[in-house]
Amino acid sequence: MARLKIAVLISGRGSNMQALIEACSTEDAPAEIALVLSNVPDAAGLKFAEQNGIPTVTIDHRKFSERDSFEQKISSCLVDAKIELVCLAGFMRLLTAGFVDTWRDRLINIHPSLLPAFKGLDTHARVIAEGARFSGCTVHFVRSEMDSGPIIIQAAVPVALDDDADSLARRVLEAEHRIYPQALRLIAEGRVTVDNDLVRIEGARTPASSVINPDIGLEGQNPAPTTFTAMETRNHGD
Ligand code: GRF
């Protein structure tokens, strides 16, 4: 079966791009990274892509007076390379509705929070400032509002009581490197559909249990949780 042709758009380090390249390097991978595109000429990720024999292109946004012409240039590169799916991976330019609509349901992004919570920048510092017990990361189809769009896959990452933004970022990043290749695989295998702006996934399971943070050592000691009937559950939830 033909492999889905992917472009990864980066602006910097490119560790998620690296995870995608590595995931696509096996013989049975259903996708191939056909292009890495950066808006920053010396983005560190470009080197890794080149060393792995992946075509790269730099389109420096500073050379364009209009956002539209910058995006048109990107789109024409993607079309020339016959790209079927675009993965944003730390691409630090906001994309206009025109671009997003052109690539609708063929454009995905990874964001380092459990969307729709903590959209935007500095997510880890804000998660800690709010005292949230869980953070995580999300891969989603892109819509024109920032960090929004149908969610494909998420990983929940417990926030440690002594976390700072850097330590939390490190653990979330490890989870990012796991879920982005999984999202790509799901799409490349044709298991993802977007219906009414919600994602449906063929043949996926939901983990059976919940996770409690902090763990105060009582799990396993408590009597088994009461099973409520539907009506009782509704009352308790109100
Ligand atoms: C990641 O945290 C990603 O979630 C966010 O930007 C960061 C990019 O990191 N969108 P990298 O360039 O993939 O290492």
Residue 219 has a pLDDT of: 82
- C-alpha distances in Å from residue 87, one per residue of 23, 41, 103, 180, 223: 14, 19, 11, 9, 46
Q: Do domains 1-103 and 111-238 have the same CATH topology?
A: yes
Instruction: Return the sign of the alpha-carbon dihedral for residues 32, 14, 91, 131.
Output: positive
d(CA 43, CA 22): 19
Give the span between the Cα atoms of 108 and 184, in whole angstroms. Answer: 9
User: What's the pLDDT at 230?
Assistant: 56
Instruction: Indicate which residue of 61, 111, 140, 236 is catalytic.
Output: 111
- Tell the residue nearest (CA) to atom 2 of ligand 1: 112
For residue 220, the model assigns a pLDDT of: 76
Residue 34: how many CB atoms within 10 A of its CB? 20
Numbers of helices and strands, H then E, in the chain = 7, 9
Q: How far is residue 73's CA from residue 153's CA, in Å, rounded to a whole number? A: 30
Told to judge if 111 belongs to the known catalytic residues of this protein, a careful annotator would answer yes
Burial label for 73, CB within 10 Å (0-12, 13-18, 19+), is middle
pLDDT of residue 237: 45
| CATH number of this structure's domain 111-238 | 3.40.50.170
The residues pairing with 9 across neighbouring beta strands, listed in sequence order, are: 37, 88
Which residue, by CA, sits nearest to atom 1 of ligand 1?
Answer: 90
Domain range annotation of the chain: 1-103, 111-238
Q: What pLDDT is stored for residue 238 in this prediction?
A: 47
Q: What is the pLDDT of residue 229?
A: 58
Q: Is 1-103 in CATH node 3.40.50.170? A: yes
Tokens standing for residue 228: 């409520």
**Other Cβ atoms within 10 Å of 201 Cβ, number:** 14
Q: What separation in Å is there between the alpha carbon of 233 and the centre of ligand 1?
A: 39
**C-alpha 1 – ligand 1 centre gap (Å):** 31
Cα separation values, 181 from 48, 89, 92, 132, 184, Å: 17, 12, 20, 27, 5
Note the pLDDT of residue 1: 75
> How does pLDDT run along the chain (238 residues), one tens digit per residue?
799 999 999 999 999 999 999 999 999 999 999 999 999 999 999 999 999 999 999 999 999 999 999 999 999 999 999 999 999 999 999 999 999 999 999 999 999 999 999 999 999 999 999 999 999 999 999 999 999 999 999 999 999 999 999 999 999 999 999 999 999 999 999 999 999 999 999 999 999 999 999 999 998 775 555 555 555 545 544 4
Give 228 Cα–ligand 1 centroid separation in angstroms: 41
| Cβ of 112 less than 6 Å from ligand 1 | yes
Task: Answer whether 14 contacts ligand 1 (Cβ < 6 A).
Answer: yes
Radius of gyration of the chain (CA): 20
In 3D, which of 60, 49, 57 has the Cα closest to residue 16?
49
